[in-house]
C-alpha cells in the first residue's frame, strides 16, 4: 500500500494540475496530468472539514480556524491557463475560528462555523463580516453564493442570507446550473427547484468552467450509485468500469475527471475507466482544484 510519505517521480508536464484533498489528518497535495496521478504528500497538518480553491488561492476549514494560502500566478490575467503551483504551501490563519465549511463567491471567501455563524471575507481584505450569527441549521456545503444546510438551501446576498428552498441538503454545486443533493432527490435550479433524479443523494459537483445555464460536466452520488451528466444535460447511471465502486465524497475537473473517496482513494478518469491511488488518509471531506486550463477538446465539446 502506498504511504502518505511516498514521493512519486512526476516531471513537469503540459496540463499538469494540483489537487488538494481535505482529510482528518490534513491537506494532501496531489499532482495530476490528465488521468495520470504523480507525486502526492501532506502539505498541511490539521483536521480538515472542507476545502475550496480559486485560480489564486486555496482555503481549508479546520477545527481551529479557516486557513488560506495564495497561489503564485505568473500567467497573464486574461489567459485561460492554470496557475503556477508554488509547491511549498504556507497556510495562514484568517481569524474566523473553527469552521465546518468554506467556499468562494466571486473571489470572496465564505465560511461557516459549528455554531451556525456564516461570514464573508471580501477579496483584498483581512476582515470577516458576519452575515448571520446563528443560521439555526447545520451547514453542510458552500459553493458560489449557495449555502447547503439541513434546513435547505440559502443564498448569500450583500447583507445576509435568504432561504431559497428545499430541505435536508447534503451538498450543492453553483457552476452552470445550480444543483442540490438532498435526502429525497437531486435537484436543479430553473423556474424554482426541479427534481432531476429520485433517491437519497449525498454528493454533487459540476465542472466550474460550465457556462451559466449549461452544464459542461457534472456528477452526483446517491445510495444506489454514481451518476454523470454530459453537455446534453442528460443524466445517466455509470456502471461497471465507469463506476469507481467506492463512496465518492467529491469531484474535481481538468482534462480528466477526478474524485476522492471517504477512505482516501484518489481516482481519475479520462476514458471511462477509473485509475486509483491510495493516499494513506482517512475521513476525507473534500477535493479542490484551482482553475484549470481549458483544452481544445473541452472547447469542441461545448460547441
- Sorted by where each begins, the domain ranges of the chain are 16-301
pLDDT tens for each residue of 109-155: 999 999 999 999 999 899 999 999 999 999 999 999 999 999 999 99
Q: What's the rounded mean pLDDT across residues 154-176?
A: 94
Q: What's the rounded mean pLDDT across residues 50-79?
A: 80
Bridge partners, residue 287, by sequence = 21
- CATH superfamily name and code, 16-301: TolB, C-terminal domain (2.120.10.30)
What's the mean per-residue pLDDT of the chain?
85
Whole-angstrom distance, CA of residue 25 vs CA of residue 83: 26
pLDDT of residue 56 exceeding 70, the answer is: yes
Identify the pLDDT of residue 300: 41
Question: What's the predicted TM-score (pTM) here?
Answer: 0.86
Whole-angstrom distance, CA of residue 246 vs CA of residue 290: 25
Whole-angstrom distance, CA of residue 220 vs CA of residue 263: 18
Identify the pLDDT of residue 84: 37
Taking a C-beta distance cutoff of 8 angstroms, is the pair 168, 139 a contact? no
- Residue 297, φ and ψ in degrees, nearest 5: -65, -45
pLDDT of residue 34 exceeding 70, the answer is: yes
Taking a C-beta distance cutoff of 8 angstroms, is the pair 46, 64 a contact? yes
Whole-angstrom distance, CA of residue 243 vs CA of residue 100: 29
Whole-angstrom distance, CA of residue 104 vs CA of residue 142: 8
pLDDT tens for each residue of 229-248: 976 678 999 875 566 667 89
For residues 84 and 138, which has the higher predicted lDDT (pLDDT)? 138
Whole-angstrom distance, CA of residue 84 vs CA of residue 16: 10
| % the chain with pLDDT above 90 | 68
Amino acid at each position: 500500500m502506498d504511504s502518505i510519505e511516498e514521493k512519486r517521480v512526476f516531471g513537469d508536464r503540459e496540463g499538469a494540475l494540483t489537487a488538494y484533498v481535505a482529510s482528518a489528518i490534513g491537506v494532501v497535495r496531489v499532482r495530476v496530468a490528465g488521468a495520470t496521478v504523480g507525486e502526492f504528500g501532506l502539505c498541511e497538518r490539521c483536521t480538515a472539514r472542507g476545502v475550496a480553491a480559486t485560480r489564486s488561492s486555496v482555503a481549508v476549514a479546520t477545527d481551529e480556524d479557516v486557513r488560506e494560502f495564495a497561489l503564485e500566478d505568473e500567467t497573464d490575467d486574461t489567459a485561460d491557463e492554470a496557475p503556477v503551483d508554488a509547491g511549498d504551501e504556507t497556510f495562514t490563519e484568517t481569524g474566523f475560528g473553527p469552521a465546518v465549511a468554506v467556499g468562494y463567491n466571486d473571489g470572496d471567501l465564505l465560511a461557516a462555523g459549528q455554531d451556525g455563524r456564516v461570514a464573508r471575507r471580501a477579496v483584498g481584505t483581512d476582515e470577516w463580516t458576519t452575515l448571520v450569527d446563528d443560521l439555526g441549521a447545520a451547514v453542510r456545503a458552500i459553493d458560489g453564493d449557495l449555502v447547503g444546510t439541513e434546513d435547505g438551501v440559502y443564498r448569500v446576498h450583500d447583507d445576509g442570507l435568504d432561504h431559497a428552498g428545499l430541505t435536508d441538503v447534503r451538498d450543492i454545486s453553483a457552476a452552470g446550473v445550480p444543483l442540490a443533493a438532498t435526502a429525497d432527490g437531486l435537484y436543479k435550479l430553473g423556474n424554482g427547484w426541479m427534481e432531476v433524479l429520485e433517491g437519497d443523494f449525498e454528493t454533487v459537483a459540476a465542472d466550474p468552467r460550465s457556462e451559466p445555464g449549461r452544464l459542461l460536466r457534472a456528477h452526483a452520488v446517491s445510495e444506489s450509485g454514481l451518476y454523470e451528466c454530459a453537455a446534453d444535460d442528460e443524466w445517466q447511471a455509470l456502471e461497471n468500469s465507469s463506476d469507481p465502486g467506492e463512496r465518492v465524497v467529491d469531484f474535481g475537473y481538468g482534462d480528466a475527471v477526478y474524485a476522492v473517496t471517504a477512505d482516501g482513494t484518489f481516482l481519475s478518469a479520462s476514458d471511462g475507466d477509473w485509475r486509483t491511488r491510495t493516499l494513506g488518509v482517512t475521513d476525507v471531506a473534500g477535493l479542490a482544484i484551482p482553475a484549470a486550463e481549458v483544452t481544445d477538446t473541452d472547447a469542441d465539446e461545448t460547441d
